Amino acid sequence: MRTAFAILLSCVATLSLGVDIPKVWDDDALASMELPLAAPSRSPKHVASTYYYRIPVRPIYKSYPIYAPKKEPRGYFERLQQQEPEIVFDPSKLKTENDWLRAGELVFDAPIGFGATFKLSQVRDPAWYEHLGIPIARDGTIPFARYVIRKKGEVEVGTGSCGMCHTRVLRDGSVVKGAQGNLPVDRAIGLNLRAQAKEAEEPKKFLEDIRSGQRLFFGLPWLRPDPLERIDRMSVEDIARAYESIPPGVTTRVNLSLFIPAQIPNLIGVCDLKHLDHTGIVRQRSMADLMRYVALVQGGNSFDRFGDFALLEKLPEPENLQRYSDEQLYALAQFICSLQPPKNPNQFGAAARRGKAVFERETCTRCHTPPLYTNNEVIPVETIGTDPALALQTRKGTGYYKVPSLRGVWYRGPLQHSGAVQTLEEWLDPSRISTVKGHPFGLNLPDKDRKDLIAFLKTL
């Protein structure tokens, strides 16, 4: 069933052949797009459009798959070293809806960082894969990063794309773009921290820089007690261990916290949702809001101010930065809205039919309303009894959690806003409440009803 948003997207897509691209960094639209934070006076203020549009547009270079060791075709890397740089996104050549979708996939996969998160020596080292547990696709590639040639003869490892976090390798090796990712990226950060510490000429200064970086990325100096207070007592080893404790499918990023990571959201079906992020901070009123959100999380939020606190006290010269063009974001949004789930192997049999009846009898539909299996609302954190940290102790903390959609829950995981449980079976296990608080619904069911309910949920 097509939602009103999907119909609107289709209409806009038709108009785009014209081409009518929304203005992304619209000051008024950005100001009204977000819910206020739990401390309203600290709600983010974004940089002015006059500054943003002085930033040069990021070129989208042709990129190439990275193969795991022993999976790479003979002579492949040597051929890459002979390739010329090639810009592959040219909006003047996008004439049809399919053109825009293909271009959007290029943007989705396009790296924005080079040689930092993953190094060339690492992606060509079998021990790195084994140590981190990097998922490998059926074709032998790691679909979370790409080789990029920006200068002939120099092959770089590109990371930081949308696909880095929002790509999943299933157990059979198939790749699902847009799904909750399962790359252990935070484990890689921990590994890199240790390596950098060993090479640091001034270990004490290196530790101070790492601690100050954590405060810059995650600090809320207006809160007491200070959620990051313990960072000043941690060694590099402690910080590395904290990153390595974050499981695949969960991550920390700017405006969250090393101690309060969040589940990576599933982008398949995201265009049907009225709120983005677990705390519902972004109101998604149109495709233009999705474009704005991408612009923020892929660098635009670096310029934010939270009352008298700023990530950057002095804005850098815009000419030294890069941003997505409105056309690139438009293509990306169209691609995201076109994403489809993988084929569901779970059949709607007798157990699922009984589970559907349990789902309806227990009034799960009140919050997880079909066909989206969410009522698209946000709920005050104190009413659901779950861990409030993400909603109250991060720079995305609105004091609310959004009601998540249950669609595609069979191929996702870990579950819950902080990824606290691995499976539906664990989520509906009555003993779970002793360690993972909140959402008591379904915990008092007879075993048979619980199994039937899980069978139904896995068909969604």
pLDDT of residue 9: 41
35 belongs to a structural domain: yes
Structural domain contains residue 66? no
Query: Do 126 and 256 share a domain, yes or no?
Result: yes
Question: How much is the pTM?
Answer: 0.93
Q: Are residues 363 and 409 in the same domain?
A: yes
Beta bridge partners of 154: 151
State the total domains in the chain. Answer: 3
Select from 262, 289, 320 the last residue of a domain.
262
Q: Which of 314, 338, 362 is the last residue of a domain?
A: 338
Last residue of a domain, one of 218, 235, 262: 262
Residues 178 and 225 grouped into a single domain: yes
Q: Is residue 271 located within the same domain as residue 223?
A: no
Q: Judge if 77 and 176 occupy the same domain.
A: yes
Tell me, yes or no, whether 65 lies in a domain: no
Is 95 a member of any domain? no
Is residue 345 a part of any domain in this protein?
Answer: no
pLDDT at site 19: 74
The pLDDT tens digits along the chain (460 residues) read 334 444 344 344 434 446 789 999 999 999 999 999 999 999 999 999 999 999 999 999 999 999 999 999 999 999 999 999 999 999 999 999 999 999 999 999 999 999 888 999 999 999 999 999 999 999 999 999 999 999 999 999 999 999 999 999 999 999 999 999 999 999 999 999 999 999 999 999 999 999 999 999 999 999 999 999 999 999 999 999 999 999 999 999 889 999 999 999 999 999 999 999 999 999 999 999 999 999 999 999 999 999 999 988 899 999 999 999 999 999 999 999 999 999 999 999 999 999 999 999 999 999 999 999 999 999 999 888 899 999 999 999 999 999 999 999 999 999 999 999 999 999 999 999 999 999 999 999 999 999 999 999 999 9
| Structural domain range at position 310 | 4-56+264-338
